[in-house]
Every structure is written in structure tokens, then in C-alpha cells.
Amino acid sequence: MENVTSGPERFTARPLPLEDLDAGSRMAEGTILLRAWFDKREACRLVEEYGAGCYLESGGRLLFERNFMSDSHMRQWILSFGTSVEVIEPETLWNELRQIGKDFLKKYGGT
């Protein structure tokens, strides 16, 4: 990139339809809804990552609902909270976490 120079070739701007700028409607399609309870001590992290008002507080816990584009990203994000989160849905993620827990017990011992 150090030797890049500008040449005489120019490009003409193309029109961009306004509907192409609305990423929100396209992002809703094919997303995976995560519903989970978080320990209250995770409030700062949730707000830092998803903004104020991203959860509802109830019974000393935080109810978080968010759409994710990727199940692998959602899984990794949830796992980063350790035991401070309890997944409500999707059921597939709940089952994956249950299996991961069993695998940890098998590998590291336990009852």
C-alpha cells in the first residue's frame, strides 16, 4: 500500500435506492432471538455492549432479548458470561450449553 498512487481514471457515482440504506429491515430476516436472564452484576456490560434500556429488571435479575445474526456469535457471547446467564431461548442454544456443561464435567471431573 505504500506505493499506491492516484491515476487518471475517475468513477461516476451511481444512484442508491433509499430502501438499500434500511439495514434494519434486512437484518430482522434470518435472525435468531435470544432471551436470557442475567445476574444484576452484568448490567454494566450489557449497557456497554447494547445500550441503555437493553434489558428489563425483574426479581433481582435482568431479562435480555436481542436478535443475533449468527448462532456461533450468540453462543460465544453467552459463554463469555459463564454462570451469570441463564438462557430461556432459543432451545437449541439451551441444549448446546447443557451438552457443553456435560463435556466439561467429563473432562474435568465432577458428579
Percent above pLDDT 90 for the chain: 69
Q: Where are the alpha helices (DSSP H) in the chain?
A: 23-28, 43-50, 71-79, 91-108
Task: Please report which confidence band the pLDDT of residue 76 belongs to, taking 50, 70 and 90 as the band edges.
Answer: very high
> How many other CB atoms are there within 10 angstroms of residue 51's CB atom?
8
Nearest-10 Cα torsion for 92, 98, 99, 104: 150
User: Which helix (H) or strand (E) covers residue 37, if one does?
Assistant: strand 32-39
Residue in this structure with the C-alpha cell 453462543, named with its chain if needed: 75
* Crossing angle for the helix pair 91-108 and 71-79, to the nearest 10 degrees: 50
State the pLDDT at residue 29.
59
Q: Please, which residues bridge with residue 103 across strands? A: none
The residue-averaged pLDDT of 42-47 equals: 97
